[in-house]
Amino acid sequence: MKKYELLEFPQLGDKRGHLVVAEGNKDIPFDIKRIFYIYGSDKDVVRGQHANKLSEFVLINLCGSCDIFIDDGENQETIILDKPHQGIYLDKLVWKNMFNFSKDSILLVLSNEYYNGKEYIRDYEEFKKITREKK
């Protein structure tokens, strides 16, 4: 079973513009405790490069585009986020690299946990070992 999923959020729009709605514990599969966003990253910059023991995430590229490399220990995939009404849910223990940012990219990140640096796995080999042991 994949530990990540593409999400589509309801869009409302008319001649005045568009509105996208995403509610915690409804459209977002958890209670939102932390919000941050990434912008101004060059095309060659790689962000993320970690997995988390406790945190789940939803990533939404509000403007522009970026690529997300995902490894859940069994499946590896690169997904392009380029629609503000679309996001990707990442469960615990999913390795993520964000890269290929367009100049106008604004990547919004929602999490179910407050920041705790101790729950981050920043070594890819350690991540692979942990996910092998969980099988």
The domain in which residue 12 lies consists of 4-134
- pLDDT of 4 over the 80 cut: yes
Mean predicted lDDT score pLDDT of the chain: 96
Confidence of residue 3 (pLDDT cuts 50, 70, 90): very high
Annotation says 50 is catalytic: yes
> Residue 58's closest CA among 32, 97, 40?
32
- pLDDT of 11 over the 90 cut: yes
- pLDDT of 1 over the 90 cut: no
pLDDT at 126: 97
The pTM for the full model equals 0.94
Q: Which pLDDT tens digit goes with each residue over 70-114?
A: 999 999 999 999 999 999 999 999 999 999 999 999 999 999 999
Rounded Cα distance between 75 and 1, Å, is 9
Domain containing 47 — which CATH number? Answer: 2.60.120.10
User: Which candidate in 29, 32, 37, 50 is catalytic?
Assistant: 50
- The number of distinct structural domains making up the chain is 1
The residues near 35 (Cβ < 8 Å, ≥ 6 apart) are 108, 109, 110, 111
Residue type at position 113: E
pLDDT at 134: 81
